[in-house]
Structure 1
Amino acid sequence: MTTARAVSWRRRSPASLWRGLLSPWRTRRLLEAHLLILIVCAAVAATALFFSYRQTQRGAVALASREAPAVQGLAGTRLAALRSYQEANALVVERLADVAGSGETYRSQLSAASQGLSRIADRTDQDLGTVNGLLATYGNSLNLGMSVYRDQPLMRDQKFREAKSLLVRDKVGLAPRLDGLQTTQIRHAEATATMGDWQRAGWWLAELALGALALTLLSALFVLRDRCGRDWNPYLLATLALTVALAVVPVLTTSTTEADLGAALKDLHRITDVSGRITDVSAPHKELIDAQTSVTQRSEQVRQRLTDDTWTDRVYRGTFVGGLLIVVLPALGLGLRLDGDYWRRR
């Protein structure tokens, strides 16, 4: 007998099984329970989805507007400072310091280094005061050697040695300090571009809540047709479609955004590596120029990769609107039905 009942239970359709599970409940209480569960699940899903996606968007914006330009600026400043010394020293060695216009290159490199620091001043939380002071002192020594003491070899050489010391002296020179700033800045960029544990937990919570919401919506639609003899409720059907969209589109968009951030982060690491390979003013001149070209090209790649966020903004706005609708629509759908069939009869 027990075996026959078990076989009979297994042969029953899913609708029959669900009908049997809900049979002890009165229709009104059943609909009210569905309404409560729908509102709670929708509220949890919308809140978790909104904050998780907002965090992803903020990370992309911060990397594009602050962290990436700071890394690029520090690398460019370091290479420009090193090249300015090479260009000035080459003019002295080749006895071209007196030739008209011969100092334009080293001056332009000094100017590029100074402008690079100025541009990133409001894009980093690190203190650039010491580096700015070193760059100004270094530039002053180099300019004195190239202009005031140009015809006094002893003083000129002394100013060049002073400039070189300010530039490459171990730990306290301009280039080593810029190295340290780059290392710290790349860590900030990694923290910005990487999804944290709390953000990942938020996505899991959102997806679980959306899954529970979808199952509850299907159950509510089943109850309305089975108990109340009603056709498909348009409010609940619209909510079900929105639930599926919210469970898929933001996750796919976030996955694409995270892939772009990861690729941009790799480019930033390459920029830092290229800049770090030039450790001294004795590096080959062509190698230094190639490093500057590589940093410029990769910086442009990062900029293009991170500025194409139109779709991300649209999905964010759609997520916000959809999150509101999945809370409001079920309340309207079941609330109107309960009000028309039960609540007004009290």
Structure 2
Amino acid sequence: MTDRPTRWTRAFRARRPTGSRTRRLLELHLAVIVLAGIVSMTALLVSYREVQNAAGEMRTHAAPAVQGVAATQLALLRAHQEAQASVDSGIDEVVGAGARYEAQLSAANQGLSRLSDVQIDGERGRGVLKTVTGVLTSYSGSITPGTVKYVDDNLMQRQKMSEAKRLLDRPGTGVVPRLDVLQHHQMRRMSRISSLGPLQATGWAVAELGLLVLALTTLSALWLLRRRCGRSLDAWLLPALLVALALAVVPLWATVGTQERLDTARHELVRIEQRADRHADLAEDQSYVTRTSTALHGRLEAERWQSWTYYGALGGGALIILLPVAGLSRRLNADYYWRAG
């Protein structure tokens, strides 16, 4: 008896090339989605973490370091101003006349102690602070006798006050010029921390481009399933598409908000440095630095949702890879595609 192919066999053979092409297209879509997901999420998570770390560094070290140097300089200059005023006005013999000078000098010493923990100039900065502490000890050894011990000896008093002033502002080796050098280095470091560099910008471009490729590929896969598999909506691919859109918007939005705070902080710190350098009205400059520092600390505090965005992006990154893998693998493992492939 002649073995004739059945009608089902002839229909299956006629449709086999179409099924094979569909399988290859689904496999290609799956590979592109996985690759785009891995690349985009790696770039996004690294870039987002860098910006958040920069905000933390500004809040805990850079801003306090710049503010601390400015406040210490102003306190030292104010201390010398108060001491000189008491000598010039002839009230240095009055009991308690040096209280304001001593308070300012004590504030400067406390500022130097705090700076050792927050300064951002590394080993070089620690060396500067160590030297400044030694010179400041010598300054105290000159200014105190000038305002207390030699009140009846004008010649020695003037000599001690002149010696103290040289220790305070002598170019290159005085306390204030050394702090100026430290501040200059810290300002450069602070600008690098608070600015979005080319590498970070490239990372965000790669992340957004990768998410765009992933979204377009997911749309193409949905269209393919609709045209060749008769499925209008896929319960796995559609959520992955929505998550990808959210990942393209929310972390970038949070980063823009953080970067705006960093830019504002950088401008405020530049103004603080300028007020400390001008020496026009020391009392007003001190008040400005204190007010601005307090306000700046509050602005640098990260909002809770921005802190948790990283972990949300991490979970979303897993979903945009696992959901398409589960959905397309389910279609690829169906009996028809297995036989047709």
TM-score scaled by structure 2?
A: 0.88
Could you tell me which amino acid in structure 1 is paired with residue 330 of structure 2?
L
Counterpart of 2:38 (choices 22, 39, 43) is 43
Correspondence 1:286-325 to 2 at 5 A: 287-325=281-319
Matched residues in 1 for 2:301 and 2:199: separation?
A: 26
TM-superposition CA deviations, 1:6-63 (whole Å, max 9, x none): xxxxxxxxxxxxxxxxx89711111111111110010111001000111111111111
TM-superposition CA deviations, 1:82-115 (whole Å, max 9, x none): 0101111212222222333222211111111111
Equivalent pair of 2:19/2:336 in contact (CA under 8 Å): no
Equivalent pair of 1:28/1:342 in contact (CA under 8 Å): no
1:331 aligns with 2:325: yes
RMSD: 1.9
Stretch of structure 1 that moved more, 26-35 or 119-128 = 119-128
1:64 aligns with 2:59: yes
Equivalent pair of 1:145/1:159 in contact (CA under 8 Å): yes
Deviation at 1:275, TM superposition (A): 0.6
Matched residues in 1 for 2:335 and 2:33: separation?
A: 19
Residue in 1 that maps onto 2:106: 111
Matched residues in 2 for 1:309 and 1:295: separation?
A: 25
Residue in 2 that maps onto 1:97: 92
Matched residues in 1 for 2:244 and 2:110: separation?
A: 50
Deviation at 1:343, TM superposition (A): 7.5
Deviation at 1:324, TM superposition (A): 1.9
SS at match of 1:146: helix
Counterpart of 1:123 (choices 112, 118, 121) is 118
Matched residues in 2 for 1:122 and 1:205: separation?
A: 37
Residue in 2 that maps onto 1:34: 29
Equivalent pair of 1:39/1:327 in contact (CA under 8 Å): yes
Gaps (5+ residues) in structure 1?
1-22
Equivalent pair of 1:50/1:323 in contact (CA under 8 Å): no
Matched residues in 1 for 2:222 and 2:265: separation?
A: 46
Closer, same or farther in 2 for the Cα pair 1:308/1:226, shift >3 Å?
same
Residue in 2 that maps onto 1:20: none
Equivalent pair of 2:23/2:337 in contact (CA under 8 Å): no
Residue in 1 that maps onto 2:195: 194
Q: Among all aligned residue pairs of Structure 1 and Structure 2, give the percentage whose two residues are the same amino acid.
A: 45
SS at match of 2:233: coil
SS at match of 1:325: helix
SS at match of 1:234: coil
Equivalent pair of 1:52/1:202 in contact (CA under 8 Å): yes
Could you tell me which amino acid in structure 2 is paired with residue 313 of structure 1?
S
Correspondence 1:99-248 to 2 at 5 A: 99-124=94-119, 125=122, 126-127=125-126, 128-248=129-249
User: How many residue pairs are counted as aligned between the two chains?
Assistant: 317
Closer, same or farther in 2 for the Cα pair 1:224/1:177, shift >3 Å?
same
Matched residues in 1 for 2:142 and 2:326: separation?
A: 76
Gaps (5+ residues) in structure 2?
1-17
SS at match of 1:122: helix
Matched residues in 1 for 2:117 and 2:319: separation?
A: 39
Matched residues in 1 for 2:326 and 2:27: separation?
A: 12
Closer, same or farther in 2 for the Cα pair 1:342/1:189, shift >3 Å?
farther
